[in-house]
Structure 1
Amino acid sequence: MGKRWVMEMSPQEARRFKLRRHNSRPKTRLDNLPEDVIQKILSRLPLKEVVQISTLSSGWRHVWRYHPDLIFSVEKLFDGKDKGDQEFVTSVNDILKDHYCTAVNKFKVNYGLSEEHGDDLDGWLSFAVLSKAKNVVLDLRPPPKCPDDVYNFPLHLFDDRNSSCVLSLRLVLVCLRPALNFCGFANLRSLKLHRVYVSKGLHCMLPHCAVLEWLSLTDCFMPSFTMSEPLDHLQYACIQNCSLQSMELHAPNLTVFNYSEQDVPIVLGKFHKLTKAKIEVLSDSDNLDYTFSHLVRAMSNVEEISLRIHIENEARQFMTDSRCDFINLRHLSIEVLVDGDPGCSSGILRLASLLELTPSLEVFNLHVSYSLKFACTCFLLFLLSPLSSGHTICMKLLIYVMWFTTATF
């Protein structure tokens, strides 16, 4: 009946009727919604789109202020077209000036700034602290022309209770100077440092990260990594190319360990729960004994190990006093550079003794790279040695032999 009545109206009357019916519907203004509801709606959209939405209505012009993710990069601000340092800094300052979300989820700055812009960077990080940002990322690549211009990260802003909301912190191309009395990051779970200059080590900072689970230090410059106190909650650790002169780590609950450094003095506590490890010793001399005596020995329960080592042909001793150190090891991968006198084979044949220490081994991958050519009989002896050592397990032995006149390891 109602539809037939509308059809009998003139086109002008029908339009007026539909308009009255539309206007009579109850309206809900976006700015009248509770703040937590607004945050949930806007959190599903990029900040740039939220800013565009705010231009559709005068009542919406402030909705972007609630956005929980603040990501500042050339891609996000300028569609990938770099407009220079000053334009970037001005844009970030303008956004933060009018933003008042008190529960920021992610705060990220990805732009090549230096100590020259230290005041602005300090202000941005202060905003991150005051807005209770959970995930903080400061990536200042590309690096400044002068290394002395690297930005000094203001750790004092994150001291004590100011940093209690920070769950993850990632820093790239900054200078970190932890003070002896620093006591922040009580709830930090993830710390990632890349190309960071650490002047005094992290021993006065990490003990206060009581719930730290993930630690990644890559291409940093730090004189030492010495943690005599155990990191009880640490589950993942990656330490690579940090020019360390000494190393000490105690993490009883560690499950994954990636390590790539020189053969420096090292102390490792027992990793009772370790399941996977990747070890690379950066050395021009034979380091098989060092690798097992100082590194692998702490991983008696590990299930999978990948090694990258250097072996000298003339080396004879493989120091070990236990025949069953790795009773849970099932997957062993070794990438080895063999160097020295081609008339000797004792160096490479030491690898055969590893099979006597791994009664549960199922997969053994060996990648061999030579700087000088060897006789193939060395490999035949190596292949036959497991058969005479009592191994009755089903083993897959994959050997990749690469012959080079010049080492490419």
Structure 2
Amino acid sequence: MDSEASVPQAKKMRTEAAERQQEPEEILGTASPPAGGVAHSEPTPHGQEPPAVAGGEGDGVDRISSLPDAVLGEIISLLPTKDGARTQSLASQWRHLWLSAPLNLECRGLPYDEEAQVRIISRILAAHPGPGRHLWVPNQHLQHRAPRFDAWLLSPALDNLQELKLDKRKLLSSWYDWGPPVSLPASAFRFSATLRVVTISQCNLLDQPTETLLFPQLRQLAFDSVTISDVSLHSMIARCPVLECLLFEGSIDFECLRINSPSLTSLALRASTNNWKRVNVVIEDAPLLERLLQLEPLNGLHVSVISAPKLETLGCFSDLGFSSKLVFATTVIQDLRADNITTVVHSVKTLTISIHNLSIDLVIKLIR
């Protein structure tokens, strides 16, 4: 039984190993098709019905290729990087589309080896003329190759970038000494006018860029174990006039977060504090805030809600002694014990709590 069960696993391991050994040419879709493969159809003018393809499903007509180039380019820019690049080999009329579509460069699906991934990213950025739509790369590249990473961000292929994600995924690497977190290069802020989604992980944010730039289109912002001063954090949020979602993950470095945002609808924390220090979150003026989420119990979190008239979803709060506190005007809820309940929060429709020792009386008192 054991030997039989190991066969699929061994096959899976061989498949994953082969995936990691792909060459950049194959990822970019520039490798020649295998001998005996399906012949590519010749280009046809847009608006004309392309010829039927033998063996196809339905009526066998290739209607996708008859779509306008702008539509095809939009579709290609939404594909994973590897698949998008390989559309060049579908037919001669498709060859130019990947290079004319906004670049979607994400490292999911690329080889898991750090050196191989660096070569592929550099090759893609050198081949593509831009503009950029989406860049998703591990922070590990910034940690190990700051000058190379800075050069990537300066590439014309990423001009007008809309989505930037630096995650903490670990790659296979010959580097063992990670060292302290490095600063996000100033080149990352050249996209401030066009960015809509940003995730920054395990690095330092310098005060000067974040305090002077405007992010007019930024709607989603996430920090994962980022070192940033309270002043810079508040300045950056204030300079995001259409920000809707704000997330904090990993370790929290700030001491007090004050929310004054006319557009924010969701604030979430899945994090831990450094040195078990107290963290204050004050919702001073958030007219559109609907969700205030503590995704995991956070020791020493004190939340004070002054003005959030549309707040509907609240939690999760625990009774496990995390010293958390929630204040609505004169109503104070600490470790799920409600004191001085004089303010009724009519807008809250969903309250999430985690109770180690179930107490119906406690629950009734909270929701009453």
TM-score, normalization: structure 2? Answer: 0.65
Cα distance between partner residues in 2 of 1:226 and 1:111: 25
Q: Which residue of 1 aligns with 2:170?
A: 142
Q: CA deviation at 1:43?
A: 3.4
Whether 1:118 aligns to 2:151 is: no
Percent sequence identity over aligned pairs: 19
Structure 2 matches for 1:143-182, cutoff 5 A? 145-146=176-177, 148-155=179-186, 157-158=188-189, 162-179=191-208, 181-182=211-212
Q: Which residue of 1 aligns with 2:290?
A: 255
- Counterparts of 1:316-327 in structure 2, within 5 Å, are 319-320=339-340, 322=342, 325-327=344-346
Cα deviation, residue 128, structure 1: 7.5
Counterpart in the other structure of 1:85: 114
1:377 is matched with: none
Per-residue CA distance 1:287-338 (angstroms, 9 max, x = gap): 5xx63xx43x2599xxxxxx99477xxxxxx53052x624455655543346
Looking at structure 1, the residues matched to 83 and 299 of structure 2 have their Cα atoms a distance apart, in angstroms, of 48
With over 3 angstroms needed to count, the CA separation of the structure-2 counterparts of 1:106 and 1:62, relative to structure 1, is: same
1:68 aligns with 2:102: yes
5 Å matches for 1:92-131? 92-102=121-131, 104-110=132-138, 112-127=140-155, 130-131=158-159
Cα distance in 2 for partners of 1:310, 1:357 equals 8
* 1:223 match: secondary structure: coil
**Residue identity matched to 2:198:** L
The structure-2 alpha-carbon separation of the partners of 1:61 and 1:281, relative to structure 1 and needing over 3 Å to count, comes to same
1:238 aligns with 2:271: no
Aligned residue in 1 for 2:307:
270
State whether residues 215 and 239 of structure 2, in contact with CA within 8 Å, keep that contact through their aligned partners in structure 1: yes
Deviation of 1:270 after TM superposition, in Å, equals 2.2
> Secondary structure in 2 aligned to 1:239?
strand
Task: Give the alignment's Cα RMSD to 1 decimal.
Answer: 4.1
Kindly indicate whether the alpha-carbon contact (under 8 Å) linking 2:313 and 2:351 is maintained by their aligned counterparts in 1. Answer: no
- CA–CA distance in 1 between the matches of 2:306 and 2:178? 36
Alignment of 1:3-402 (within 5 A): 36-37=70-71, 39-40=73-74, 42-43=76-77, 45-55=79-89, 61-73=95-107, 75=109, 77-78=110-111, 82=112, 84-102=113-131, 104-110=132-138, 112-127=140-155, 130-142=158-170, 145-146=176-177, 148-155=179-186, 157-158=188-189, 162-179=191-208, 181-199=211-229, 202-227=233-258, 230-243=260-273, 245-250=278-283, 251-259=286-294, 260-263=297-300, 266-280=303-317, 284=321, 287=323, 291=325, 294-295=326-327, 297=328, 309=335, 319-320=339-340, 322=342, 325-327=344-346, 332-337=351-356, 352=361, 355=364, 358-359=367-368
1:124 Cα offset (Å): 2.3
Q: Residue 129 of structure 1 contacts residue 157 of structure 1 at CA under 8 Å; is this kept in 2?
A: no
Check conservation: 2:73, 2:98, Cα contact below 8 A. no
SS at match of 1:175: coil
Query: Unpaired segments of 5 or more residues in structure 1?
Result: 1-21, 301-306, 312-317, 339-347, 360-409
- AA matched with 2:219: R
How far 1:273 sits from its partner (Å)?
0.5
Change (3 A) 1:35 1:264: same
Q: Which runs of 5+ in 2 are unaligned?
A: 1-40, 47-66
Where 1:261 maps in the other structure, the secondary structure is coil
Matched-pair contact (CA < 8 Å) for 1:158–1:185:
no
Contact 1:309–1:337 (CA<8 Å) still a contact in 2? no
Q: Distance in 2 between matches of 1:216 and 1:253?
A: 16
Per-residue CA deviations over 1:128-178 (Å, capped at 9, x if unaligned) read 89521211112242297545343421256416xx41111110123333233
User: What's the secondary structure of 1:262's corresponding residue?
Assistant: coil
Cα distance between partner residues in 2 of 1:129 and 1:282: 51
Shift of 1:189: 0.5
Query: Does the residue aligned with 2:262 lie in a helix, a strand or coil?
Result: coil
Whether the 8 Å CA contact 2:313–2:350 is kept in 1: the answer is no
Q: How many residues align?
A: 298
Per the alignment, residue 15 of structure 1 pairs with none
Structure with bigger gyration radius: 1
Deviation at 1:95, TM superposition (A): 0.8
Shift of 1:356: 5.8
Distance 1:299 1:64 in 2: 58
d(CA) in 2 for partners of 1:129, 1:206? 28
Deviations 1:14-33 (A, max 9, x none): xxxxxxxx99x9757xxxx9
Distance 1:111 1:332 in 2: 35
Which stretch of structure 1 is more off in the superposition, 120-129 or 88-97?
A: 120-129
In the TM superposition, what is the alpha-carbon distance from 1:111 to its structure 2 partner?
Answer: 6.5
Do the aligned partners of 1:172 and 1:196 also contact (CA within 8 Å) in 2? yes
